[in-house]
Structure 1
Amino acid sequence: MRVHFTKMHGLGNDFIVLDARDKALPVLSGETIRALSDRTLGIGCDQFIILEPHTEATVRMRIFNADGGEVEACGNAARAIGLLLGETATIATAGGLITTTPQLGGIAVDMGEPRFEWDAIPLAYPMDTAAMPVGWDLLEKPLAVNVGNPHVIFFVEDCNAVPLDALGPQIETDPLFPERINVNVASVVDRKALRLRVWERGVGLTRACGTGACATAVAAMRRGLVEREVIVHLPGGPLTIAWGEDNRITMTGPATESFRGSFELDEYA
């Protein structure tokens, strides 16, 4: 079976997008998604996206990490799909309903409301998510936020000095996080800017993470470190995050279509 795809990215966080709105696809196994996501033997991506019809939204977006596991949300992918749709749209995800709107600065995404309750992250047992009494090496007392998917955030003097490639997988798979966790290390530049690096569960170090930028900005605002609108500088570029008085998060940034192609599904089954 010949399958067409679109390759896209948001600040270097890249996606394979399959459009199954008009023609259903066979069920893709985790093994097939891992093979297609492989950067040497497949097409290569951080996340694998499948678009499907939805009765209450413009489209349903299913999100799979490069390891084949399905996840709830991806902010950069939401911007990419917003670009693909080309107009204001509602997108149904496993993490909830979001809205995308094309703007001069790229695509604005209403990411919904953050959750801070320990069992909404989720954590393995109750604790204060604003200053968790835990630590790993030099990383300690993080905040936890769920913005459609779960994040833990550490504020440090220099986020670039943290060996996130070593600590990221250790924290991601800690028993404290029964559904694993996305790991963010951030530094405050000033009241209107943050620097951020992210270890994404099931992916590893990425050039950008939209939900990570949202979670980190909200965590910094919760601690009073920054204003209610902030620029988050990731290795792939900046995102603007605002946390409104209505408790909803808006993320604005670019998205890019890289190329289109096709593949024989049987070769990756």
Structure 2
Amino acid sequence: MHAKRKIRFTKMHGAGNDFIVLNGIHQDLSGISQQQWQSLAHRQFGIGADQILLVEKTDRPDADFKYRIFNADGGEVEQCGNGSRCFVRFVLDQGLSQKNPLRVEVAHTVLTLKAHDDGQVEVDMGAPIFEPNNIPFIPNGLASMQEFHETLYALPLEHPAMHGSFVGVVSMGNPHAVQVVGDIESAPVLLEGAEIERHPAFPKRVNAGYMQIINRNEIKLRVYERGAGETLACGTGACAAVVSGIRRGLLDSPVKVHTRGGDLQISWNGIVNDVVQNVIMIGPAVTVFEGETEI
């Protein structure tokens, strides 16, 4: 029988996408199981969150901190845009660093984050990834069509009410399948998103994004996230949607993204001299409360 231990936590949100943030530098958080992460994120029996962010020391000379991300289902994932903004606010508010901007190690890369005086946080999200093997995405056997610079793929879905959706596929450190819909409110996000998330073309599952274009610099967005279901906002999803929209010739940078939890601003300058440019995201990061719990 394992002994119970108390851990300190901070509850935060970025445009309604909510997080449990844990200081893994000043408390021992080793040995926590997937089931325990799941229990902490449970909205009825735990603290409740879309994701859990674990702040740790880094061994990389080009980074100030490391953070790891666990979804509500307890599984670890590579990237979280809204979480990265909350991370920098947490680090500054907790006095873990006075540096601004900060560089933080995530699963496959180092992000640069800058807190603005107005409470917004700017994140250099790095360059989007289009190569299917690196997303990862297996397009074998899928029908496809070209729209401007973007290749769209038809995902055959099993649900009888659906006839397949053409999606743009991009990674922002985590995989996204983005489709354009006429009306965001009536889009089958919950029903279809769950099926797209586990589509066999995505060996590591995928985040399903639904984008309604208002004008060339403004969209509405809903995202069904891997391991979390629909969230009030998804930072990497906003980046992926804007990148896909620009590649399809439908949007111009910068783009205001309206999510159910708040607004994000995404900028991307495309591909310049064969170099894929980095995506810049600006949005809020808010501390809700702090507390202590037992696991």
* TM-score above 0.5: yes
* 1:95 is the counterpart of 2:117: no
> What's the offset of the Cα at 1:229?
1.0
**Structure 2 equivalent of residue 39 of structure 1:** 43
Q: Determine the structure 2 residue equivalent to 1:111.
A: 125
SS in 2 for 1:35: helix
Residue identity in the other structure for 1:114: P
- Identify the match of residue 14 of structure 2 among 10, 29, 44: 10
Once the two structures are TM-superposed, the CA of residue 160 in structure 1 deviates from its matched residue by 1.5
For the residues of structure 2 that align with 1:195 and 1:130, how far apart are their CA atoms? 22
Given that 1:195 and 1:234 are in contact with CA atoms closer than 8 Å, whether structure 2 keeps it comes out as yes
Give the counterpart letter for 1:204 in structure 2: G
Letter of the structure 2 residue corresponding to residue 162 of structure 1: A
What is the CA distance between 1:118 and its match in structure 2? 1.1
* Residue identity matched to 2:110: L
1:260 is the counterpart of 2:258: no
User: Could you say which residue in structure 2 is the equivalent of 1:55?
Assistant: 59
Can you give the 5+ residue segments of structure 2 that lack an aligned partner in the other structure? Answer: 93-99, 145-149
- Structure 1: tracts of 5 or more residues without a match: none
Share of identical aligned residues, percent?
A: 39
Which letter does structure 2 place at the counterpart of 1:27? G
Is 1:236–2:257 an aligned residue pair? no
2:200 aligned residue: 175
The structural deviation recorded for 1:124 is 2.5
The alignment covers a number of residue pairs equal to: 265
The 10-residue stretch of structure 1 (15-24 or 37-46) with the greater mean CA deviation from structure 2 = 15-24
TM-score in terms of structure 2 length: 0.86
Counterpart contact for 1:67–1:202, Cα < 8 Å: yes
Larger-Rg structure: 2
Q: Does 1:68 align with 2:89?
A: no
User: Take 1:105 and 1:242, find their aligned partners in 2: how far apart are those partners?
Assistant: 19
Q: Cα distance, 1:139 vs. partner?
A: 5.0
Match of 1:184 among 209, 230, 244: 209
CA shift in 2, pair 1:243/1:172, >3 Å: same
Checking the alignment, whether the CA contact within 8 Å between 2:22 and 2:53 is kept in structure 1 is: yes
Q: CA-to-partner distance for each residue in 1:206-261, whole Å, 9 max, x for gaps?
A: 10000000000000011111112100111111100001356000000001000100
Aligned to 2:97: none
CA displacement at 1:45 relative to structure 2: 0.4
What secondary structure does 1:80 align onto?
Answer: helix
